[in-house]
Amino acid sequence: MALVNPHGKEKKLKPLLLEGKELEEEKAKARTLTEVRITSREAGDLIMMGIGGFTPLEGFMGYEDWKRVCSECKMADGTFWPIPITVSTTEGQANSISIGEEIALVDEESGEIMATMKVTEKYKIDKEFECKNVFRTTDLEHPGVAMVMSQPEVNLAGPVKVLSEGSFPIDYKGIYMRPAETRKIFEDKGWSTVAALQLRNPMHRSHEYLAKIAIEICDGVLIHQLLGKLKPGDIPADVRVKAINVLVEHYFVKDTCIQAGYPLDMRYAGPREALLHALFRQNYGCSHLIVGRDHAGVGEYYGPFDAQKIFDEIPKDALETKPLKIDWTFYCYKCDGMASMRTCPHGKSDRVFLSGTKLRKMLSDGEPVPMQFSRPEVIKILQEYYQSLTEKVEIKLHQYAEGETK
């Protein structure tokens, strides 16, 4: 059996990253162009287009694509896409840019020219409309909503030529991978069914349990963690990489899982982000996406299994990558091990509910972490990180972290 096809009508990866002489010539031209500064979220989206992770996109979306993606989860040409991929600038700068003009997209943090773009459209959006559809809320306390509402006034659309992957290949050498690289690894191993485990937290016992369930039914697992920006209080990627490495080394059968990373910032869009996670994992060659409790959620904006339900609401042929839906998992004292709502007959008092939020709070507060939460080798790495912090970040527990449901 072969791997799943890349997303889109052509069913082939479309990386937009230039190489060799073409790259050098475009870089020289870029230095002569009007510069538009972009955020880390926009830079991450751009890199994903560059490496083929956002196949079949050819650039940032125009108004019709934006509107239909928000309301219908598909672009103007009918291609399934769950979250708008846009870049914005101030009205003043937008007025100074002509339709058809080429511009340089510059990372606002590093100052590096990331891409050139031929501007085909300039448009304003209804930000509340986007937030209501994508995040299901307009509450500014939601980090994704805050991100959209703080965008400049005008979106620019057009095809891009990507010139850089930023610092990811250097900062995360051996972890940061392009879709073509993971596909080759899977093919070399003879894998055709691969489940992706989405991570923005270090792996606790529930994550480990989910991965091992997937290993039982698939050829292997891609432990695929986000390398971009998170919200305050989340654990940075370099610490997560160390913690995952030690867990895989001591508690997984050799050659059953691969650890890799991708360059996006979190949007915390819950169900819609779960769909995006499945879409780009299809480009990475994964047949399944593990979807557990509160996937890509934040606070209590989504029900604990809304990210599973949304896969039943989209057309059956929208994605080749399918959800691997797993119920609420926990440690049960009476079962004497990890279990789920489907396998454990015991009561709540016998269960230890695990969550990244709860684990971070215990570590931040300097509390001892029970062995049921995470492996000792992992806890040691995380405790060292928290002890190194000079400023404590307050972490609030929500009801799902305590095993409550709506």
C-alpha to C-alpha distance for 274 and 294, rounded to whole angstroms: 10
Q: For residues 244 and 259, is the Cβ–Cβ distance under 8 A?
A: yes
Catalytic residue among 133, 155, 201, 283: 201
Give yes or no: 267 in active site. Answer: no
Cβ atoms of 85 and 59 within 8 Å: the answer is no
Q: Which of 41, 200, 240, 281 is catalytic?
A: 200
Q: Are 73 and 186 in contact (CB under 8 A)?
A: no
Give the residue among 396, 393, 390 at the shortest CA–CA distance from 364: 393
Compute the distance between CA of residue 406 and CA of residue 402 in angstroms, rounded to an integer: 12
CA distances, 256 to each of 133, 193, 199, 246 (Å): 38, 12, 17, 15
* Residues contacting residue 24 through CB under 8 Å, at least 6 positions apart: none
| HSE-CB for 110 with a 13 A CA cutoff | 13
Tokens for 258, please give them. Answer: 């691969």
d(CA 26, CA 18): 8
Q: How many CA atoms lie within 13 A of 164 on its CB side?
A: 18
Give residue 184's identity as a one-letter amino acid code: K
95 tagged catalytic: no
What is the distance between the alpha carbons of residues 9 and 29, in angstroms, rounded to a whole number?
32
Catalytic residues: 200-201
